[in-house]
Amino acid sequence: MRFIHTLIPALALMLAMAAQAQQPQRLELCVACHGPQGNSQNPQFPSLAGQPKVFMENQLVLIREGLRDIPAMKGVLDGLKDADLIVLAKYFSEQVPVPLSTPVDAERYERGKVLARSMLCGTCHLPDYKGREQMPRLAGQHETFLRAVMEEYRDKPGPGRDTVMTNALGGLNNQHLDDLAHFLAHVK
Ligand code: HEC
Ligand code: HEC
């Protein structure tokens, strides 16, 4: 009996330590900007909830190495190993994205929908725009972020950005980008 009495607390301690090891490092920093469970409350900061794991792993390596330049994230990933980035990517990929509650303009939504179809965005980002592998989720992402990042790809893609997107947005004007961002943010 005495053995059981000492064993149970020891087991509880081991389980607690294992659970702590699972907690992604620097999570509290990430959610300060990217929102609770990666559902961003700031329209300029992208949501991470439900983003494909591979996409986030790639971006986190690029950001840590300074190859994708995000001034707000300067130093945030310093000292983290690849394995730590994989744990962070896995955590956010498993969170459930909360749909945006911003108002929908039916005409802009429809124009964006038609454009996204004719431009074949869904061949890479999937027909429901949930993304896969290295292709990010667009569905339910903040409109402000989507709009800004598309303009960046089209006009002045920074280092580390995939030129596949510069080609995909070639020939689109600002109104096209407005409509695409509005549609994708609210897509059902
Ligand atoms: C001070 C605010 C801030 C903090 C802290 C922060 N980020 Fe970011 N993060 C940003 C901003 C802003 C962007 C988007 C930059 C842009 O406009 O391209 C971004 C982009 C990203 C992206 C790319 C998303 C995409 O859709 O392109 C990933 C992945 C990411 N952050 C993960 C993290 C993780 C993981 C942490 C915690 C270790 C973290 N961030 C901490 C502000 C922050
Ligand atoms: C050939 C495949 C392909 C096509 C077609 C494509 N995309 Fe992409 N898209 C990508 C990849 C890959 C990335 C990640 C790029 C990177 O790593 O810089 C991306 C990134 C993005 C992002 C950045 C999202 C984020 O969270 O950082 C947006 C927005 C986007 N695409 C919108 C579109 C729209 C709108 C269309 C149609 C007009 C489109 N894409 C067509 C492959 C594609």
Closest residue to atom 25 of ligand 1, CA basis: 46
Of residues 90 and 17, more confidently modeled: 90
Instruction: Tell me the pLDDT band of 23, cut-offs 50, 70 and 90.
Output: confident
What is the number of the ligand closest to the CA of 160? 2
Question: Rounded mean pLDDT of 94-123?
Answer: 97
Task: Characterize 4-22 residue by residue with b for buried, 16 or more Cβ atoms within 10 angstroms of its Cβ, and e for exposed.
Answer: eeeeeeeeeeeeeeeeeee
pLDDT of res. 76: 97
Give how far the C-alpha of residue 108 lies from the chain's centroid of Cα atoms, to the nearest Å. Answer: 24
Cβ–ligand 2 distance for 150 under 6 Å, the answer yes
Question: Rounded mean pLDDT of 137-166?
Answer: 96
pLDDT of res. 22: 66
Cα 165 to ligand 2 centre (Å):
5
pLDDT of res. 3: 62
User: Over 60: is that where the pLDDT of 19 sits?
Assistant: no
Pocket test for ligand 2, best of 165, 169, 172 (most atoms within 8 A of CB): 165
Instruction: Tell me the pLDDT band of 91, cut-offs 50, 70 and 90.
Output: very high
Question: Rounded mean pLDDT of 126-134?
Answer: 98
